[in-house]
Amino acid sequence: MSGTRAAALRARLDDALAPTELEIIDESDRHVGHAGAADGKSHFRVRVVSTRFEGAKRLERHRMVFDALEDMLETDIHALSVLAQTPDDARKS
């Protein structure tokens, strides 16, 4: 199921942010037995590099990611860790 969720997550972020780089890491296995995992939702870490983040502050970038995944956050994703960078940010890190 998590593979399907990761694919849906990727499709949503591709459509909304046209990332030049996108890493999705499913961390659900690290949360087995955790109360938030009991309902079957997944835990993900994402790194998104997009020109659409240019000029946006960190909070605005995170909102853009969360907006793209809004309904999935209610039905499929229990926890989401986000690193949202511009291409320039990514080159510097």
Largest CA distance in the chain: 40
- Strand, helix or coil at 75? helix
Instruction: Name the token pair of 43.
Output: 């835990």
Average pLDDT on 9-13 reads 97
The band of 1, judged by pLDDT with boundaries at 50, 70 and 90, is: very low
Cα(31)–Cα(18) distance, integer angstroms: 30
Q: Strand 21-26 relative to strand 42-49: parallel, antiparallel, unpaired? A: antiparallel
Which DSSP symbol is given to 59?
H
User: Where do the domains of the chain lie, and which CATH numbers do they carry?
Assistant: 2-92 (3.30.300.90)
- Its pTM stands at 0.86
Looking at the predicted structure, is the pLDDT value of residue 60 above 60? yes
pLDDT in tens, 30-51: 655 555 555 657 889 999 999 9
- ∠ CA 81-82-85, nearest 5°, is 160
